[in-house]
Amino acid sequence: MKKFINDVANVETEMLDGMAATYPQYVKRMDGLDVIVRADKKADKVALVSGGGSGHEPTHAGYVGKGMLDAACAGAVYTSPTPDQIFEAIKEVDAGKGVLLVIKNYTGDVMNFEMAADMARDEGIDVEQVISADDVAVEDSLYTIGRRGVAGTIFIHKIAGAKAEEGADLKEVQRVAQKVIDNVRSMGVAIKPSTVPAAGTPGFELAEDEMEMGVGIHGEPGVATEKIKPADGIVDELLEHIFKDKDYAGKEVALMVNGSGATPEMELLILSNHAHKVLADKGIKIYKTLLGNFMTSIDQAGASLSLLELDDELKALLDAPADTPAMTVV
């Protein structure tokens, strides 16, 4: 294993310190906690808190800032954050209008965030939650009951964050977050597995001529291990799974072409090019395309496609200003 690390035991804490040191205009780290919060806490707004295991950067801390998240809780690599850290994050960012938890659908995440929510309610904080489950690949997986929450979660951060920044109340922010969840679908593929630093070896095996179709963001098995094919064929297969689950024909959408951490932008653009052609052929209008590393799997070579059906409300919130380390909309 070759990585730019000092000690595998300190990877998460040094990463979070690096985040705070690099982006002081956006974020700060809570003392003694693996929690990143906005550098300038905004009063009189609903606060958004999300989080999950480390290794998916820039998710989640990269989206802390104006128009998106107010706090992000980091667990160890591919491991849920603890309830006490989430509870402290909730208390820190609550500005009197309540807190919305954005939870990816993994058993540990859901359990720990819900425990923290109960602790916060016991202290009189108004807390609601939404659960992201956009992955169409599998219904149940190694860490989930039901579908996994993957890169489509970033649309929730952006759109619900914009609604909160407008001054909407907690129920309205929750409503628009759920609207995104209801209308977003994702599917991923890997051509090389990731290596968790503490393990030192790849999380699964793929031959040189194989790919994992429907892979999870922690390297969970997908639909099938298949022979690799040209990029256009991979896009066709990803979109076929998405279209089986939701009919986007004639709709207006946002497209996310997400890299898994070790996929060059050159290759993401090739995937995006064919995705645009396929969507056009199906009468699907692309309002906006987001391309890059939004939710990664450490050093996994792979990608995912996400489609979000839009209406006027969601378009306006997607276009609303945001200023965070990983996403800026002006």
Q: Tokens 């974020």 belong to which residue?
A: 27
Q: pLDDT tens-digit profile of 74-88? A: 999 999 999 999 999
Q: pLDDT tens-digit profile of 133-182? A: 999 998 877 777 899 999 999 999 999 999 999 999 999 999 999 999 99
Vertex 103: Cα angle to 98 and 107 (nearest 5): 135
Q: Is 184-321 in the same CATH topology as 8-182?
A: no
> How far apart, in whole angstroms, are the C-alpha atoms of residue 323 and residue 173?
19
Is 241 annotated as catalytic?
A: no
Q: For the chain, which residues make up each domain, given as ranges?
A: 8-182, 184-321
Classified as helix, coil or strand, 134 is coil
Q: pLDDT tens-digit profile of 243-278? A: 999 999 999 999 999 999 999 999 999 999 999 999
CATH superfamily for domain 184-321: Dihydroxyacetone kinase; domain 2 (3.30.1180.20)
Is 60 annotated as catalytic?
A: no
Classified as helix, coil or strand, 57 is coil
Class level of CATH domain 8-182: alpha beta
Selecting among 60, 157, 218, 241, the annotated active-site residue is: 218
**Is 142 or 103 the better-scoring residue by pLDDT?**
103
Check whether 29 has a pLDDT greater than 80.
yes
Please state, in angstroms and as integers, the Cα–Cα distance from residue 25 to each residue in 16, 39, 43, 58, 325, following that order.
15, 7, 17, 16, 9
Mean pLDDT of the chain: 97
Q: pLDDT tens-digit profile of 48-61? A: 999 999 999 999 99
> How far apart, in whole angstroms, are the C-alpha atoms of residue 82 and residue 79?
9
